[in-house]
Amino acid sequence: MTFHIDAELLDDAASIEALIETCFGPNRKGRTVYQFRDGIPPVHELCFVARNEADRMLGSIRFWPVQTGDGRILPLLGPLAVLPECQGQGIGRTLITHGLGAAERMGFPAVLIVGKPDYYVPFGFDRGLADGLTLPGPVAPLTFMAMEFPGHEGCLDHYAGLVKPADNWSHPVFSHKDCLAS
């Protein structure tokens, strides 16, 4: 299958919402991670869609700004949604790789996710990296994980506390010393 990745456009919002509804159903709004999205805009620079040659949307990925208990901002990956009939064809993996690359270029030292370990571990996500952080509710059967970008290994050792929505977020620029600050 041939597809390309584009930045999400304002006009994509309704299509993305329909895609997410198709993939996750109406009960998604009761999940812990939804409170990080409810009424809070995603990190616009980290929102992408996959389209086929006919410009049909096949998948979407978004990242949301969250704040750790010690005041640091990180992106939370999700949701990643791919049309059911297109799953297993590399669209989700390509969206993740593209989104993580963009987050790294923005200067974030790490990314958080609530997801299925068997899918996200190959991208570098690890349950142990999120050990110092907690969420304001359950995530089972999914798992709270994190990944650190090259050059920032160990930075999450210095992040701690309850993760909450970052509703007053503005575009930060991080350096390695920022993620090690206590």
What type of residue sits at position 106? Answer: M
pLDDT, one tens digit per residue, over 75-91 is 999 999 999 999 999 99
pLDDT beyond 80 at 176: no
Average pLDDT for 92-102: 98
CATH number reported for the structural domain that contains residue 19 in this entry:
3.40.630.30
Section 93-97 average pLDDT: 98
Of 135-139, 170-174, 176-180, where does the model show the most confidence? 135-139
Indicate the number of domains in the chain. Answer: 1
Burial of 151 (0-12, 13-18, 19+ CB in 10 A): exposed
Q: Containing domain of residue 44, as a range?
A: 3-180
**pLDDT at residue 7 above 50?**
yes
Q: What is the pLDDT of residue 177?
A: 39
> In the structure, what pLDDT confidence band is assigned to residue 142 with cuts at 50, 70 and 90?
confident
Instruction: Check whether 178 has a pLDDT greater than 50.
Output: no
Tell me the sheet residues that pair with 92: none
pLDDT at residue 182, rounded to an integer: 30
Dmax (CA) of the chain? 50
Averaged pLDDT, 87-96? 98
What local confidence, expressed as pLDDT, does residue 87 receive? 97
Distance CA 154, CA 133 (A): 14
* Separation between Cα atoms, residue 58 and residue 86, nearest integer Å: 7
Strand 161-162 with 133-134, pairing: parallel
The model carries a pTM of 0.91
